[in-house]
Amino acid sequence: MTGIFPNSVSTSTSSRGLSALETQGKLITKPVPTTGEQLPVIGLGSAGTFNVFPQSSTWNEAQEVLKLFHSLGGKVIDRAPSYGRAENFIGETVQQFGFGNDVFIATKVNVLSAGKDAALRQMQNSLDVFGRKSIDLIQVWNLGGSIAQLSAATLTEHLDALRDWKAAGKIRYLGITTSRDPQYDDVEAAMRKYPLDFVQLDYSIGDRLPEERLLPLAREKKIAIIVNRPFTTGNLFGRVAGKPLPPWASEFDCTSWAQYFLKFVVSHPAVTVAVPATNDPKHLRDNMGACFGRLPDEAMRKRMVEYFSSL
């Protein structure tokens, strides 16, 4: 057997096998470096998937995804005020079904150059949506600016607001996010300058640029990494369409390409959790299969990259 990280179970994570893992196994978790808090390595994103209204045809299915995520032991739900109604939908749903305190809420703040007071107002609105006394994590979205216009002053204003809230107990963690390669230099500078609990960035087997500097720096600085776009923009699936998994994928309890891509991401030593977005219960169940069984070690990760690159 090629090298594997042993975890709690080794049962297959097919649609049928996942039920056995739900009752017999434990989710794979990783610690937040600053506190040691354990989080399941697969979370749930919401960009483009939960912008729904009560009268919409996708409302019930979207609610089913959140309920299923919770029932499978999922914790981290990532959202932002800029994702249409996603923030309200998630807040309404978790309160309606009574598990609002069971999930790890990660949201974002970005008011561009409107100033610290505007950031505080946006953060308060996020807090009100969930009806909680505190939010687990608030991140400065895109460093508080945009790809075209970034300023150190803007990021500082946002982080000042977050530090005030952390000191007051209104958030437990603070961080920054990006999802674009052009921001990586600015992200690296921020990681070196500011005390951060989390950094969120895009990373996948098809886009491994963060491995060069950002992920090693996160380990050095003891910063947790949340990964968005673990499937890039979904184009990884086009690359493998009609192609079977390699037989040795069973060595790390992988039964689908989604699990292959996700287990590659979360097996990186710097990564704490990946947050693939979906509003499809079937896809959610498949994604959560990557949170059970074993993870590939470094030798297996290299084998996974070589195989994917050969397709």
Quote the strand ranges of 32-125, DSSP E: 38-40, 76-78, 104-109
Q: Where are the domains of the chain?
A: 4-310
Q: 35-44, 49-58, 164-173: lowest mean pLDDT where? A: 49-58
Q: What is the pTM of this model?
A: 0.91
User: How much is the pLDDT for 234?
Assistant: 74
pLDDT in tens, 196-218: 999 999 999 999 999 999 999 99
pLDDT in tens, 68-100: 999 999 999 999 898 889 999 999 999 999 999
| % of the chain surpassing 90 pLDDT | 81
pLDDT higher than threshold 50 for residue 9: no
Beta bridge partners of 106: 78, 137
- The CA distance from 306 to 311, in Å, is 9
- Using left for φ > 0, alpha for ψ between -120 and 50, and beta otherwise, residue 91 falls in alpha
Of residues 250 and 6, more confidently modeled: 250
pLDDT higher than threshold 90 for residue 7: no
CATH 3.20.20.100 fits 4-310, yes or no: yes
pLDDT in tens, 16-28: 335 444 544 689 9
pLDDT in tens, 256-288: 999 999 999 999 999 999 999 999 999 999 999
3-state class (DSSP) for residue 249: helix
- The CA distance from 171 to 284, in Å, is 28
- The CA distance from 243 to 257, in Å, is 9
Query: How many helices and strands, by DSSP H and E, does the chain display?
Result: 11, 12
Which of these, 275, 112, 121, 304, lies nearest to 203 by C-alpha position?
275
pLDDT higher than threshold 80 for residue 158: yes
Tokens 């505007």 -> residue? 118
Note whether 245 and 256 are within 8 A (CB). yes
Which of these, 182, 280, 177, lies nearest to 224 by C-alpha position?
177
Question: Residue 311, CB half-sphere, CA atoms under 13 Å: how many?
Answer: 19
| % of the chain surpassing 70 pLDDT | 90
Q: What is the mean pLDDT of residues 35-58?
A: 93
Q: How far apart are the first and last CA of the chain?
A: 23
- The CA distance from 44 to 65, in Å, is 10
Confidence of residue 13 (pLDDT cuts 50, 70, 90): very low
pLDDT higher than threshold 50 for residue 10: no
User: How much is the pLDDT for 244?
Assistant: 94
